[in-house]
């Protein structure tokens, strides 16, 4: 059994996929890599909120999303900052109630919302996560 808290043992993407045990995970990673031509970076976070190994996708020095492994699913964190806020809020009325609720219930701090999107199925929320990453990629 993998220990995500063991900072001395960096897991591979395949080991993380085995831990998550959801085919959507590798599909999500492949899609992000293909769309944005950015490799994954497996990093250890000492953050008290979410300590352990995670997967980051960065483009031009900006983190597009961070994936936190869970058993059976994964959480994609997408930061909505001041540059993205207006476009995301314009998109929200057309989004699922799940995403709307998540957005408005996520506290804003320093002009940012750190959206923690739990992904388990290839559903509306999964597709919306990619819309948010696209807005994040465009910035401005």
Per residue in 58-116, pLDDT (tens digit) is: 998 899 999 999 999 999 999 999 999 999 999 999 999 999 999 999 999 999 999 99
Give the orientation angle of helix 24-36 with respect to helix 124-138, to 10 degrees. 30
Q: Give residue 26's pLDDT band: very low, low, confident or very high (50, 70, 90).
A: very high
Structural domain boundaries in the chain:
13-138
**pLDDT of the residue at 112:** 95
List the one residue out of 3, 17, 1 whose CA is nearest residue 73: 17
């Amino acid at each position: 059994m993998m220990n995500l808290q063991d900072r001395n043992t960096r897991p591979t993407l395949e080991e993380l996929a085995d831990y998550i045990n959801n085919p959507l995970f590798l599909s999500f990673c492949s899609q992000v890599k293909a769309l944005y031509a950015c490799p994954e970076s497996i990093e250890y976070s000492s953050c008290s909120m979410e300590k352990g190994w995670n997967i980051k996708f960065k483009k031009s020095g900006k983190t597009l999303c961070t994936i936190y492994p869970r058993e059976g699913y994964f959480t994609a964190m997408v930061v909505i900052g001041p540059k993205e806020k207006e476009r995301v809020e314009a998109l929200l009325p057309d989004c699922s109630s799940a995403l709307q609720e998540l957005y408005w219930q996520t506290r804003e701090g320093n002009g940012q919302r750190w959206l923690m999107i739990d992904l388990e199925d290839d559903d509306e929320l999964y597709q919306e996560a990619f819309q948010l990453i696209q807005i994040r990629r465009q910035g401005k």
